[in-house]
């Protein structure tokens, strides 16, 4: 519908669910200020459907605003209650002073409530819910072996301990519990480190795709994961040849890296950091 301002009052114009023009006959009700007109064809409860409107005077001017159809639940009594509310607001200077303003405020409240609900749901998303978003996409980015390993870590350790916690509440104590439980079960340090890496990946994924701003608890933890790098013994010549042969069958580059490590004693990090300028290709 649309509302046209005439010389001294509002008239309802346009098509409101049927043929309704300003010239349609308005019929008074038992409530002063409440009127209706009848639909030319459509019936409701064995009578022609009625469209109610309210009239009031405010600030020296007469106004008339549309309310709604009887078939949509409106009655003379409900329209009168609405008119009484508008008049009281005008008198007290509180709340909406017209149906148009009331409708606008209701829409704004719905939008505000929806935004607050989305924000609240976003802030309280649990690790389990985040995992359901993360893992289907992660499956396409890693090998099948890695997928199975991550799923196993989630099922055995992550979900039981932090799954139902909101991501914003996951902290160092929770990580310590994961570490403690994995150690009790005899899991190796690298498995614990892998579990922490999965947690970090889920946090990073949600920050990147869902607009979160949560720092992974693994980034600030002081938990130390100790690796046993103690040397048990040296390989025999026969074991070295067997190892290099097996590696070469799988990867030429890995074979060359392993050979360099055996010949020089360099660790993997040192080999990967090598620069061509550090290599002497000619002997004296």
pLDDT at 250: 84
> Residue 166 — pLDDT band, cuts 50, 70, 90?
very high
Residue 42 binned pLDDT confidence (cut-offs 50, 70, 90):
very high
pLDDT at 141: 78
Mean pLDDT calculated for residue range 39-46: 92
| pLDDT(2) > 80 | no
pTM for this prediction = 0.48
pLDDT of residue 225: 67
Contact 26, 65 (CB under 8 A): no
pLDDT, tens only, 136-152 = 988 777 788 888 999 99
**What sign does the CA torsion over 139, 145, 151, 154 have?**
negative
The dihedral through the CA atoms of 173, 177, 183, 184 has a sign that is: positive
Q: Is 144 helix (H, G, I), strand (E, B) or coil?
A: helix
In the chain, where are the structural domains located? 2-117, 127-219, 237-278
pLDDT in tens, 48-106: 999 999 999 988 899 999 999 999 999 999 999 999 999 999 999 888 888 888 888 88
- The pLDDT of residue 177 is 95
Residues 6+ apart with CB under 8 A from 276: none
> Hey, what CATH topology would domain 127-219 get?
DNA polymerase; domain 1 (1.10.150)
Q: Rounded to an integer, what distance in angstroms lies between the CA atom of residue 164 and that of residue 160?
A: 8
The torsion region of residue 96 among left (phi > 0), alpha (psi -120 to 50) and beta comes to beta
Better-predicted residue by pLDDT, 102 or 10: 102
What's the rounded Cα separation, in Å, for the pair 245 and 226? 32
pLDDT higher than 70, residue 17:
no
pLDDT at residue 3, rounded to an integer: 38
């Amino acid at each position: 519908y649309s509302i046209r301002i005439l010389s001294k009052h509002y008239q309802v114009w346009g098509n409101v669910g049927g043929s309704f023009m300003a010239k349609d006959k308005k019929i008074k009700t038992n409530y002063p200020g409440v009127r209706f007109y009848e639909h030319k064809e459509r019936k409701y409860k064995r009578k022609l459907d009625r469209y109610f409107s309210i009239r009031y005077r405010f600030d020296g001017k007469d106004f008339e605003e549309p309310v709604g159809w009887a078939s949509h639940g409106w009655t003379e009594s409900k329209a009168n209650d609405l008119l009484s509310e508008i008049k009281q607001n005008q008198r007290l200077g509180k709340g909406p002073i017209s149906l148009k303003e009331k409708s606008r405020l209701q829409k704004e409240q719905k939008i505000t409530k929806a935004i607050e609900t989305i924000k609240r749901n976003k802030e309280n998303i649990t690790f389990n819910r985040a995992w359901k978003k993360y893992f289907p996409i992660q499956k396409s980015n890693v090998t099948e072996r890695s997928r199975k390993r991550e799923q196993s870590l989630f099922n055995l350790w992550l979900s039981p301990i932090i799954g139902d916690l909101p991501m914003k509440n996951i902290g160092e104590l929770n990580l310590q519990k994961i570490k403690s439980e994995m150690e009790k079960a005899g899991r190796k340090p690298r498995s614990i480190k892998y579990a922490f890496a999965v947690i970090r990946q889920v946090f990073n994924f949600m920050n990147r795709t869902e607009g979160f701003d949560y720092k992974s608890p693994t980034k600030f933890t002081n938990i130390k994961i100790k690796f046993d790098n103690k040397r048990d013994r040296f390989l025999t010549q026969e074991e070295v040849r067997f190892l290099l042969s097996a590696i070469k069958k799988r990867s030429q580059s890995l074979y060359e890296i392993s050979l360099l490590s055996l010949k020089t004693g360099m660790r993997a990090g040192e080999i990967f950091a090598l620069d061509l300028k550090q290599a002497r290709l000619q002997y004296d």
